């Protein structure tokens, strides 16, 4: 079987996430070791980077849990209750996952501020851009949950009384806007 014919992409995602976490943790660990032992100075960028590692760790745990509940498997191989649980984990993971690649912007800005010592206006511009970007990420994270009313209808279409979801185009447009 080739990669695109896997029966369970959850296993592939799980392995990829933990490999990414291991490599990233090693690099960040070496960076912190050098900053502490050779430079004797830990900066804001180091703290932010460490926080980003924790978010990545949380993401890996969630992907492992989601995979164990059927996330990543072909829907035809899941029973209806498994589909509901897998979709619920998909929403949870998606709302957290985007933070693991958006929060490092703060570490980059802190590094640039440390290295370049820009003026007040440039610093304000950097942080304003990062904060506005994070506001969009927050909106996307929240939208993953509130796009359907009731919220549970987003992953369970069998709830009594039904529900209603916003068009998927709204989430797509929000994603495009956030990434711009």
d(CA 53, CA 132): 22
Residue 65 is predicted with a pLDDT of: 96
Strand partners, 8: 73
* Residues 66/14, Cβ–Cβ less than 8 Å: no
Four-point Cα dihedral 53, 58, 64, 69, nearest 10: -160
* Residues 99/141, Cβ–Cβ less than 8 Å: yes
Q: Which structural domain, as residue segments, surrounds residue 11?
A: 3-179
Please tell me whether the overall predicted TM-score, pTM, comes out greater than 0.95 for this model: no
d(CA 147, CA 88): 13
Spans in the chain with pLDDT lower than 50:
none
Residue 4 is predicted with a pLDDT of: 66
């Amino acid at each position: 079987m080739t990669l695109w014919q896997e029966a369970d992409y959850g296993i592939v995602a799980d392995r990829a996430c933990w490999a990414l976490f291991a490599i990233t943790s090693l690099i960040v660990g070496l960076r912190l070791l050098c900053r502490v032992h050779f430079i004797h100075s830990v900066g804001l960028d180091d703290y932010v980077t460490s926080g980003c590692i924790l978010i990545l760790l949380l993401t890996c745990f969630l992907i492992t849990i989601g995979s164990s509940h059927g996330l990543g498997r072909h829907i035809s191989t899941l029973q209806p209750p498994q589909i509901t649980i897998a979709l619920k984990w998909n929403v949870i993971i998606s709302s957290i996952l985007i933070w693991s690649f958006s929060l490092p912007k703060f570490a980059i800005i802190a590094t640039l501020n440390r290295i370049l010592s820009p003026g007040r206006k440039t610093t304000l511009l950097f942080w304003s851009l990062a904060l506005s970007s994070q506001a969009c990420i927050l909106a996307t994270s929240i939208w993953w949950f509130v796009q359907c009313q009731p919220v549970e209808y987003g992953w369970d279409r069998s709830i009594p009384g039904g529900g209603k979801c916003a068009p998927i185009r709204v989430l797509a447009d929000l994603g495009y806007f956030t990434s711009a």
